[in-house]
Amino acid sequence: MIDRYQTPEMAAVWSDAARMSRWLEVELLATEAHASLGVVPTQDAVACRSSAPVVDDNFVASVVAREEVTQHDVAAFVDVVQDAIGGTAGPWIHYGLTSTDVVDTALCWALRDAADLLLVAVDELIGQLVSTARTHRDTVMIGRTHGVHAEPTTFGAKVALWALQLDRDRHRLRAARDGISVMKLSGAVGTYSNVPPEVEAHVGAALGLRPVAATQVIARDRHAEFLWACSSIAASCELVAVELRHLQRTEVSEVREGFAPGQKGSSAMPHKRNPISAETISGLSRVVRSNLLAGLQDVALWHERDISHSSVERVILPDSSMLVHYMLRRLRRLLERLEVDAERMEENLNSSFGVVFSQPVLLALVATGLTRDEAYRIVQRDAMLAWEQRTSFRDVVAADPEVTSREPAIDLDAAFDLRASLVHVSATIAQLDDL
């Protein structure tokens, strides 16, 4: 992943040094487990731990150089570790294991750590969404369907729905974290032919990872589930971003991204103030969702394993977790600094001459005994007339003899009561209490 879209915490999870540190810990724990079973001499297991190399940039460089010879990254890693430990202890490193035992266990460990960072970021974003929703629970605006004025709503109700959706994503991510918090040290085809299950159990307990039945590899539906959770979060972030982009259009101008002192919106046009954060989030969401397809294609492997998944995962698993972490952080900052123009929202609501109250008028006419279709045709005609003449819909309705002749007379004050149309919005806001 390019530096531009990394966060320091998530980059640390996926660094080469972190990856090899995990490999080393798996190897050492397995050696100690073998020692507890009497397979490895106790003093050699102790020496492996005490003489283990420090995994730093120099160590990584040594493994990379050795891989030029072995053409196998784990074999190169084992060679360097064994050389560093030396003596009679070094050869016990990797005893009974296949490379995927180490790699898959360490990868699941990294994914669990990545999921933990993502869960914190989701929590923070939901917290911001809840705060924004409550702040604007009574900020009236027009609701739009198909991009066209529909009925009144509030900005708070809109944001509350985003928070509820992100909460569902949080549940998906928690499930994916549980699904990926596993490990295996069961050998070349998963039969424990050269390493007993007790070794696997010892390492799993030390790392807090659950041993699972496997072939040479842990089943890749688990990794695909993690990518699905990432994709779902990315899609929800884009949902918010697309809405904010539309609301920031000049013709709408109901919200604006925060604009810092010295910031420039365009290199050519000084007046520009663009929704750059929301647009960036939309773009990155496309990358994350495309990675899900590659992850699903990794599920079907040949027999007990092949490595067609390996090269893919080296890209899509770090990149997806890094991008989603970045998106969550950036969206939270966007919302923290978002400028909401309540006056403009009300102005836009009123710009369609009151036709947004067509449904209450329709229902009032139905209540007088008209069929729904009869009432619909009357209201539709009056709404279109108001729009074409750019005049008050209420005035047109009040002057329509087909309306005024109805008994009992309809209550136009009630039909055009903005607050009455929003009286139950609090039910949506109330659901935030369960988050």
Closest by alpha carbon to 335, among 147, 151, 159? 159
Catalytic residue among 50, 146, 267, 271: 146
* Residue 295: C-alpha distances to residues 219, 228, 287, 289, 322 (Å): 12, 9, 13, 10, 16
Q: Yes or no: say if 331 and 118 are a contact pair by the CB < 8 Å rule.
A: no
Selected catalytic residue, list 36, 171, 193, 266 = 266
Calpha distance 47→365 (Å, rounded): 89
One-letter amino acid for residue 115 of the chain: A
What are the distances in angstroms from CA 375 to CA 187, 207, 365, 388, 396?
Answer: 74, 68, 6, 20, 15
Nearest CA-CA partner of 236 in 162, 295, 178, 308: 162
Tell me the Ramachandran region of residue 38: left when phi exceeds 0, alpha when psi lies from -120 to 50, beta otherwise.
left
Asked about 193 being catalytic, the answer comes back as: no
Distance (Å, whole) CA 105 – CA 295: 18
223 is catalytic: no
C-alpha 107/C-alpha 101 separation (Å) is: 10
Tokens linked to 306: 């092949």
Residue 318 φ then ψ, to 5°: -65, -45
Enzyme catalytic residues? 146, 266
